[in-house]
Structure 1
Amino acid sequence: MQAVKNRNSSINSIVESVFDKDAANFWLQKFNPLWSFNQALGKIINKDQTAVDTVSLTIQTNKKFKLGEAGQHHPVIVTVNGRCFERTYSLTQLDVDHVLLTVKRVDQGIVSNWLIEKAQLGDVIEFGQPYGDMLLPQPSSPLLLLAAGSGITPMYSLIKAALKSNVSTPIQLMYWMKHEADAAFKAELEMLAEKHANLKVQLFHTQSEHPDSRLNESYLNQVSNLENTTVYACGPSGFVSTAEQVFKSAQSFKSEAFSLSHLASDDVGFINVTLTKSHKTVAIPKGQSILVGLEQQNIQPTHGCRMGICNKCACNKAQGSTKNLVNGATNTEPGHLLKICVNSAQSDLTIDL
């Protein structure tokens, strides 16, 4: 049996060495846009407006697509004006061949604006491998889901998966948005809460006529048994940082920030960053992410989500001090794994890039 496996592996290696995958994909997609030798592809077959500045795309996937677990994210790769852009989104499974991609408009967001305004039925997009550890807890425990804005998308996926698997432990969703019209999945979430006694859904509008307060310690009064509860938070970094402080006594806390809020900072001036593999030293602004600073110097490090989740931009920090732009934590230790998309340089820095 091992001999057969070795022979098949050798044959595959020979085929791949002489077979141009890009050429194969080009000709395969002349017959069917979803056919591919090695790409996970999806075709948009339906497009719905689910909230203000939010659309949900129903996507038919090909056989190369492997859906992650509920709560995980997928790199989504689209071509806009001849250039490929990668962004990260949470998907919801509809059936074995279809997923739901929900997109909220981001100011000056190239990909979100294209998906909302320009994407048409029949357009094909590419997916990367899923990642993220904000999964249904095992073993089951009470689950508190905190969402702000488009942070609802992984929470929606988690709720659907939990109810589908007949999880009977309490699930509480607290969802903040500016106005009622901004609430994605509102009708379905309320319907699910009526149908399932273990699901509680609370929606908060921070800019309505009678606004609800933003997340703060007063909301602790609406949560019971926190010390035995798993808490997940997803939203802007300021929201996530506040959630971590408010719910610090939870049994477990995990979070994902999809955008960086500006932390109060007096950081000014420039920092020298030495790139050991590139043999370069460049000066970047002190208060912004290292990734953005390097890009402004026409250096293009490998990156993916730009949220500190996928680890594609992570590299070793040989020397220097950095600040996490999500929670404000500083690190001065050498030999530290550094996510350059969510950290700024606080001193002259040496990193292995």
Structure 2
Amino acid sequence: MLSTIEKSSPLRWLGKQLFNRNDPAGFFDPLLTMINPMWAQGFVAARIESVIDETPDTRTFLLQPSSRWHGFRAGQHINIIVDSDGVRHHRTFTVSSTPAQWRTDGTITLTIKRAPGGRITNWMHDHLQAGATIGISEAFGDFDLPAGPSPLLYIAGGSGITPVLSHLATLADSPYAAPVSLLYYVRTEADVIGAEILNSLAANWPALTVSIFHTEVGDESQHINPSHFKNVPELSERQVYLCGPKGLMDRIDELLAPFGLRDDQINKTFFSAPTSVPLDTPLGGAITFTRSSVNVESDGDAPLLEIAEAADLTPAYGCRMGICHQCSCKKTEGTVINRLTGKASGPGEETIQLCISVPQGPVSIDI
């Protein structure tokens, strides 16, 4: 029941209710976004300014984040937040534009390829148009520009070119004088992403050499092979940056091995979490999600994040590949294997990342 004061001052009563809530952003956002979608507080809102077709299955979305977004470094990722069919989804994409562009006009670009069977990438292509608003996270990731003026080699496959575009355009503006080579693998000429940017960089930046290979034209020499690396001058002295599908990345590791590059010369970023767990490692066991009083069994074929979701739990997550740490939580008992490193945790209490942790025996998780 409302008091006399509350009856006479509905706005005062409404304000009291709002500020007494534990999650003010969750209560305010539906009201604020009805007035202006860019006023959302639960995430950083970003308005789509334009949509550009790159290839038959890839589009670039030009976004203007709200003024409270903190920016990014070349090569970093962001999570996007979209509502599809009444369900909120998070997906991770790399910013393909340069930090200088964001500092100049407040815009960034995401270059997104349709994933076969992908729910969100297909929904974005089919529904997002200029004027729409989505949510974005702050930037994260450490696929950073080189610290010094070393010669560089970039190797990208398909849409793995997106962080490379940001790197190359940023370096060209420096200007970066050391030699820079790009080996870019696509199916056909029509599948080259960022063709206009690459052509412009190659024409105006003398330090850059661009080699594009079309792997589905029936010419075996276009497939990645040792000759591609032998044609890169002073390869053993270069910092190498890799981004692409796992099969390509594994093949590159094999081909680079004879050149004697040190581990600290090779920088990688992945589309999804790879696995370094040996095939003969025993995995699986009983899992207890202690706060939820949920007990499940694992065969060791999925990370804890997927196991929790299959049990109808909703832990926080972001990139799903070990980069952003949004799924970090406390393991109270038991051992897990890190899929990225293949290393086992200790048996006691510690913080783990659900998206890259696989149980090895009984495990208790504070969820």
TM-score of the aligned structures, taking structure 2 as reference length: 0.80
Query: Aligned match of 1:339 in 336, 353, 357?
Result: 353
What's the C-alpha RMSD, in Å, of the aligned pairs? 3.1
Mapped partners of 2:127, 2:135: distance in 1:
16
SS in 1 for 2:126: helix
Say if 1:81 and 1:192 are closer, same or farther in 2 by CA, change over 3 A.
same
The one-letter amino acid of 1:107's match is: P
Determine whether 1:89 maps to 2:89. no
Partner of 1:310: 324
SS in 2 for 1:233: strand
Mapped partners of 1:349, 1:309: distance in 2:
23
The one-letter amino acid of 2:49's match is: I
Determine whether 1:322 maps to 2:337. yes
Q: 1:58-86, CA deviations, whole angstroms, 9 ceiling, x for partnerless residues?
A: 12222122221110011111111111111
Query: Aligned match of 2:54 in 50, 55, 59?
Result: 50
Query: Aligned match of 1:161 in 170, 177, 186?
Result: 170
Say if 1:38 and 1:285 are closer, same or farther in 2 by CA, change over 3 A.
closer
Q: 1:211-261, CA deviations, whole angstroms, 9 ceiling, x for partnerless residues?
A: 555545554313333343222211223333443454451452221211357
Partner of 1:226: 235
Say if 1:333 and 1:58 are closer, same or farther in 2 by CA, change over 3 A.
closer
Partner of 1:10: none
Instruction: Determine if contact 2:328/2:352 at 8 Å carries over to the other structure.
Output: yes
Determine whether 1:146 maps to 2:155. yes
SS in 2 for 1:144: strand
Mapped partners of 1:33, 1:319: distance in 2:
45
Q: 1:175-218, CA deviations, whole angstroms, 9 ceiling, x for partnerless residues?
A: 11222211101232022112111111121222223255554555
Determine whether 1:235 maps to 2:244. yes
Q: Which moved more, 1:260-269 or 1:128-137?
A: 260-269
Say if 1:216 and 1:284 are closer, same or farther in 2 by CA, change over 3 A.
farther
Instruction: Determine if contact 1:51/1:183 at 8 Å carries over to the other structure.
Output: yes
The one-letter amino acid of 1:194's match is: A
The one-letter amino acid of 2:132's match is: D
Q: 1:102-135, CA deviations, whole angstroms, 9 ceiling, x for partnerless residues?
A: 1101122222111111112211011111101111
> How many percent of aligned residue pairs carry the same amino acid?
28
Say if 1:290 and 1:204 are closer, same or farther in 2 by CA, change over 3 A.
farther
In structure 1, the gaps of 5 or more residues are: 1-13
SS in 1 for 2:323: coil
Q: 1:272-311, CA deviations, whole angstroms, 9 ceiling, x for partnerless residues?
A: 2344555543212322333223322223322111122112
Instruction: Determine if contact 1:205/1:212 at 8 Å carries over to the other structure.
Output: no
Mapped partners of 2:70, 2:306: distance in 1:
31
Instruction: Determine if contact 1:59/1:98 at 8 Å carries over to the other structure.
Output: yes
Instruction: Determine if contact 1:143/1:229 at 8 Å carries over to the other structure.
Output: yes
Comparing both structures, which one devotes a greater share of its residues to strand? 1
Shift of 1:138: 1.2
In structure 2, the gaps of 5 or more residues are: 1-15
Instruction: Give the structure with higher Rg (CA).
Output: 2
Partner of 2:219: 210
Shift of 1:343: 4.3
Mapped partners of 2:364, 2:105: distance in 1:
46
Say if 1:183 and 1:344 are closer, same or farther in 2 by CA, change over 3 A.
farther
Instruction: Determine if contact 1:285/1:293 at 8 Å carries over to the other structure.
Output: no
Determine whether 1:257 maps to 2:266. no
Q: Which moved more, 1:194-203 or 1:123-132?
A: 194-203
TM-score of the aligned structures, taking structure 1 as reference length: 0.82
Determine whether 1:136 maps to 2:145. yes
Instruction: Determine if contact 1:235/1:258 at 8 Å carries over to the other structure.
Output: yes
Mapped partners of 1:346, 1:337: distance in 2:
16
Partner of 2:12: none
Say if 1:352 and 1:298 are closer, same or farther in 2 by CA, change over 3 A.
same
How many pairs were matched up? 336
Mapped partners of 1:234, 1:337: distance in 2:
28
Partner of 2:7: none
Say if 1:173 and 1:277 are closer, same or farther in 2 by CA, change over 3 A.
farther
SS in 2 for 1:332: coil
Shift of 1:31: 4.3
Shift of 1:141: 1.8
Shift of 1:87: 0.8
The one-letter amino acid of 1:228's match is: E
Instruction: Determine if contact 1:267/1:286 at 8 Å carries over to the other structure.
Output: no
Mapped partners of 1:303, 1:293: distance in 2:
13
Partner of 2:6: none
Equivalent residue runs for 1:104-119 within 5 Å: 104-119=113-128
Query: Aligned match of 2:63 in 59, 65, 68?
Result: 59
Mapped partners of 2:42, 2:273: distance in 1:
34
SS in 2 for 1:341: helix
Shift of 1:321: 5.1
Comparing both structures, which one devotes a greater share of its residues to helix? 2
